[in-house]
Amino acid sequence: MQILSLGSRTLRFMSLRKVAMGFSTLLIIASLASIFVKGLNFGLDFTGGTAVEVGFSQPADLKKVRNVLAENGFADASVQLFGSSQEILVRLAPRGSDVKAEVIGNQVIAALKQADDSVVMRRIEFVGPSVGEDLKEQGGLAMLTALICILIYVAFRFEWRFAVGAVGALLHDVIITVGLFSVLGLEFDLTILAAILAVIGYSLNDTIVVSDRIRENFRKVRIDDTIEIIDLSLTQTLNRTLVTSITTILVLIALFAWGGQTIHGFATALLFGVFIGTYSSVYVASSVAIAMGVSKEDLIPEVIEKEGADQDAMP
């Protein structure tokens, strides 16, 4: 068996694990407090409302459309391209149970005709609050199902302590990312939920890479100190983690800066999620596994037993 040594270049990540866990605990408490006290600014996907599809004779200027609607009492309108540059979708929060969707649609068209006479109404659709409640429930179930499946996979793939650490890191990422939207009052809709699910996948990928390297080093390095093995594994995967994170962040910065209002929230959730996901992959997942007492015997018991049998058989 090849013997590797812990060189002086090994970074002592786990020496800061208590500080990191304390910092993470504060962030989680602050996020949960904001979510329960302040709540989330749910978008029309969850609250319901009116959707008005509008057609133009030429490419629509979304900024101009938003300004016109704001001047006519629709400052909360969500405006995005729909299918082509000449079609837009205007989504509005509920205006009261006694206000019909047709009335709101006509008001929107009248406001837009002030800027462009070629405006044509394509359709009007009302989304009831009950549909929004169903979407909340289904979205929550989607995240819960993903976490349970991840827990089962990592438990079979590696060891149950690493599974708990991985799911703990993912919960950490989800709670803090959702907490950011609560603290800042940013709109939370289905695109944000999709971004959070993407963050779960991104963070899990990093955690799996680190866990695999830890198991590999337990087999190659003749050192029983779990913390030293984890530090070595994190150091060896650091280049890969940084390259992946930086290239992803560069793309997200471009989307955040020039992607437009339609995907601004999506880019915000992913950009913050990549930062917090990279951090949790290094500190949270491994720290939880260490706190639960993971060791070489837990990850490769069959190798330990075989080596013991070989030593007993020696004359």
pLDDT band at 128; cut points 50, 70, 90? low
- Please tell me the distance from the alpha carbon of residue 225 to that of residue 230, in angstroms, as a whole number: 9
- Residue 4: its pLDDT value, please? 42
pLDDT band at 172; cut points 50, 70, 90? very high
E-assigned strands of the chain? 41-42, 49-55, 78-82, 84-92, 120-127, 187-188
Average pLDDT of the chain, as a whole number: 80
- Residue 74: its pLDDT value, please? 82
SS3 letters across 221-275: CCCCCHHHHHHHHHHHCHHHHHHHHHHHHHHHHHHHHHCCHHHHHHHHHHHHHHH
- Residue 302: its pLDDT value, please? 52
pTM of the model: 0.76
- Residue 106: its pLDDT value, please? 81
The tens digit of pLDDT for each residue in 246-267 reads 999 999 999 888 877 678 888 9
- Please tell me the distance from the alpha carbon of residue 232 to that of residue 238, in angstroms, as a whole number: 10
120 contacts 111 by C-beta, under 8 angstroms: no
Distance (Å) of CA 217 to CA 32, 52, 150, 232, 259: 37, 58, 23, 8, 43
The tens digit of pLDDT for each residue in 77-97 reads 878 777 677 888 888 877 665
The tens digit of pLDDT for each residue in 12-49 reads 888 888 999 999 999 999 999 999 998 888 877 777 77
55 DSSP β-pair partners: 87, 120
Please state the rounded mean pLDDT for residues 197-216. Answer: 85
pLDDT band at 299; cut points 50, 70, 90? low
Please state the rounded mean pLDDT for residues 157-185. Answer: 87
Domains and CATH numbers, the chain: 13-41+132-292 (1.20.1640.10), 49-127 (3.30.70.3400)
- Residue 37: its pLDDT value, please? 92
- Please tell me the distance from the alpha carbon of residue 18 to that of residue 311, in angstroms, as a whole number: 38
Residue 112 has pLDDT above 70, yes or no: yes
Closest residue by Cα to residue 163 from 173, 145, 149, 142: 149
Please report the DSSP string for 120-131 in residue order.
EEEEEEEE-HHH
β-strands 120-127, 187-188 pairing: unpaired
Q: Which of the two residues, 228 and 131, has the higher pLDDT score?
A: 228
